[in-house]
Amino acid sequence: MKKRIVIALGGNALGKTPEEQLKLVKKTAKNIVELALDGFDIIVTHGNGPQVGMINLAMETSHEEGVTPSVPFAEVGAMSQGYIGYHLQQSIQKELLKHHMRKSCITLITQVLVDKEDPAFKNPTKPIGDFYTKAQALKLTKEKGYVMKEDAGRGYRRVVASPKPVKIIESGIIRDLLEDHNIVIAAGGGGIPVVEKWNSLRGIDAVIDKDLTSARLACEVKADIFLILTAVDKVYLNYGKEDQQGLNFMSLKEAKQYIEEGQFSEGSMLPKVEACMDFVRHRRTGQAIITSLDRSLDALLGKTGTVITRKVDQNGKK
């Protein structure tokens, strides 16, 4: 029986420019098709930080020059899903043809329901777009109502809310596509955040953490494995120090303890560990793994990576 896997790609699998991205995703596609050859049914999710910033800046600049109308941030997110998905889809399809595999790959523009009462809306923290001077920031706040915050001494940036994902709107369609053994690219950049209003959905200015959305999607499609691919081969304690220690296994209890100790960086490993914890809490038979793109198949064979499960005994076994 084929196993269902959600692969969450890190920023190292994509590029900051169209040329760089097209070059990098060719390598990414090879790793993904390797897993398809090994019998997995696959959903691919990805980030969109540099890409959505680039599109948003281009749209804002064009609008300020009177060339185009103002484009809401939700629409900018949809554009980034299509742009990144197009490159991934094209590269994956090329790899599938090389191996004479009768599979298709499709990119699905994905909406994610969030709670309009989520506390995150009262405290926007997610920076997007370019840097501005204090005077420019004050002008944007006055003219457009943006929330602007100083960012590490580098200037002011617009910040938006980062609410938690509640439901993947297109999860049913994604399950149908998987049943036919298609490779599905979905929930790019954490998905397009939407709220319910008058029995319909409305896009809002927000950014959902991509790993939390990926975990939610993995639960809703009943994935067997949730695989987060990042820049390192496994999770480390005391990372970057002389006594750093790689973890092969981590239980929910251990993960919680390490978080309380401050072992994982908020802008790096912490959201990945939290997403894995969320998945294994809700998917009792599921397994979450964090590893690097190059070692993905090795991690699934138990040769590397950090496996997060509900419980681990003293011998490091589930």
Q: Which residues are catalytic?
A: 11-12, 126, 210, 272
Signed CA dihedral, 143, 146, 147, 153: sign only: negative
Token pair, residue 221, equals 């499609």
* Cα distance between residue 205 and residue 75, in whole Å: 9
* Cα distance between residue 318 and residue 314, in whole Å: 10
Of 317, 302, 305, the closest CA to residue 272 belongs to 305
Counting every residue written for the chain, the total comes to 318
At residue 284, φ and ψ (nearest 5 deg) are -55, -35
- Residues 6+ positions from 133 with CB-CB distance below 8 Å: 155, 156
Q: How many helices (H) and strands (E) does the chain have?
A: 9, 17
145-183: burial string, b at 16+ Cβ within 10 Å, e else: ebbbeeeeeeebbbbbbbbbbbebebbeebeebbeeebb
